[in-house]
Amino acid sequence: MNARRKLLAGALAAALAAGLYWALRETGALATIMDADALHAQIVRIGAWGPALVVALMMLAIVASPLPSAPIALAAGAAYGDGWGTLYVLLGAELGALTAFAIARAAGRDTVHRWFGDRLSVGLIGSQNTLMGIVFVSRLLPFVSFDVVSYAAGLTLISAWRFALATLAGIAPTSFLLAHFGSEMGSGEPGRIGWSVLALGSLTLVPLVAAWLRDRRARRRDTTGGPDRPA
């Protein structure tokens, strides 16, 4: 009965996500979400409900995999600036990640594997600290799927609070830079936009350089048969 409940919960969650995606596409809302300028205009148009829309869309972009989150973050930055824009993006992304985490933990491995297939194999194994570190680093890498990591983490033994903390710490820099980039785009000043793009690119390179240095040290230890020692 427990397996049946998990299967039913997973099927309902998948059906809901698919239904929302279909409704967004059919109503033309999906095209607006994928266009940062159009979304910015819509956020401004609805006034006080704008922050709630940003948070809801960020959540949906993570729970429903096909939706992109970058245009939402850019639109939030253009509408609310660096500070508030970052806060709304962070809140939506964190809630979305926790929702995906909870769905995976409730639905179980077999159900989630049906959704993502081989994409789910991201190697989330190990101790609590190891898992927390993997989640944190994955959040810094733009080419690692945010939603897949959130669902996959729900299938591991990592505690919810560790997952939440690692996610929040990992997405904060990118959320700020995307919101800042959106704010600079709204300013229309090419020089400021250029510096934002450079900063975003630098943030992407940091974890790659760290991984390269770690691999280099590991290869050196394997070659020398022990840890590095000064001559």
Q: What is the mean pLDDT of the chain?
A: 76
Is the pLDDT confidence value at 190 over 50? no
Is the pLDDT confidence value at 65 over 70? no
Confidence of residue 231 (pLDDT cuts 50, 70, 90): very low
Q: Give the whole-angstrom CA distance, residue 49 versus residue 66.
A: 24
Q: Give the whole-angstrom CA distance, residue 139 versus residue 213.
A: 19
Is the pLDDT confidence value at 96 over 60? yes
Of residues 162 and 174, which shows the higher confidence score?
A: 162
Q: Give the whole-angstrom CA distance, residue 38 versus residue 33.
A: 8
Give the percent of the chain with pLDDT over 90.
22
For residue range 97-121, what is the model confidence (pLDDT) as tens digits? 999 898 888 776 656 656 565 555 5
Is the pLDDT confidence value at 213 over 70? no
**In contact, 90 and 175? CB cutoff 8 Å:** yes
Confidence of residue 154 (pLDDT cuts 50, 70, 90): confident
pLDDT at 177: 84
pLDDT at 69: 85
As a whole number, mean pLDDT of residues 205-220 equals 60
DSSP 127: -
Contacts for 17-22: CB closer than 8 Å, 24+ residues apart: 17/63, 17/64, 17/65, 18/64, 20/60, 20/64, 21/64, 21/66, 21/67
Confidence of residue 76 (pLDDT cuts 50, 70, 90): very high
Q: Give the whole-angstrom CA distance, residue 148 versus residue 145.
A: 5
pLDDT at 52: 95
Write down the pTM of the prediction: 0.72
